[in-house]
């Protein structure tokens, strides 16, 4: 048994994994996510760890899909969200990409924006669901943008500063902290 574990591709650094094992390993986190979702939202609404207004159960979601598509105009709302997020991303990119290029090209611009980009560089909008679950807020769904604004556009300057790091690395073969 021990020889079998030692020869296993799972325990070899940079080891190759078979296609079937790769598929199984790729499906496991998805199954775990659905299992956790079901565990946290099972039971009567009053006794759930996470209330149905914040996170409905998988069964409730599956039962509500036909109504969402037919009576609540789901596709229209999905398109509005995709359009809003895309336009916000493009606007943010138009603002911060030139700043990042200027930071890479001119030391004075880099000195001006480095403190802000460094301080905000570790903040991402991925933390928002945890804040929503913890703090609650407008769960009616009528004004989610007012309660939970998307933070990704605010912190794209740090990504542009990452572009500056790429320019520094290309120019001097050193890391950003050395430049």
Domain boundaries, the chain: 1-72, 73-179
Q: What are phi and psi of 77, to 5 degrees?
A: -70, -35
Sign of the dihedral defined by the CA atoms of residues 41, 47, 49, 52, in that order: positive
Structure tokens at 115: 């403190």
Q: What is the mean pLDDT of each run of 10 residues along the chain (179 residues)?
A: 57 84 94 94 88 91 91 91 95 92 92 84 64 56 43 42 43 40
pTM: 0.47
């Amino acid at each position: 048994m021990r020889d079998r574990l030692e020869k296993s591709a799972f325990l070899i650094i940079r080891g190759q994994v078979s296609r079937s094992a790769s598929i199984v390993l790729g499906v496991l986190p998805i199954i775990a996510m659905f299992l956790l979702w079901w565990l946290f939202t099972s039971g009567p609404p009053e006794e759930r760890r996470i209330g149905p207004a914040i996170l409905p159960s998988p069964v409730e979601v599956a039962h509500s899909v036909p109504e969402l598509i037919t009576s609540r105009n789901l596709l229209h709302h999905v398109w509005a969200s995709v359009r809003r997020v895309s336009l916000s991303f493009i606007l943010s990119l138009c603002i911060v990409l030139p700043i990042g290029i200027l930071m890479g090209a001119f030391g004075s611009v880099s000195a001006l924006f480095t403190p802000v980009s460094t301080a905000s560089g570790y903040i991402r909008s991925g933390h928002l669901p945890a804040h929503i679950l913890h703090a609650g807020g407008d769960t009616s769904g009528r004004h989610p943008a007012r309660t939970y604004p998307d933070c990704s556009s605010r912190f794209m300057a740090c990504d542009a500063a990452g572009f500056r790091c790429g320019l520094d690395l290309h120019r001097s073969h050193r890391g950003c902290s050395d430049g």
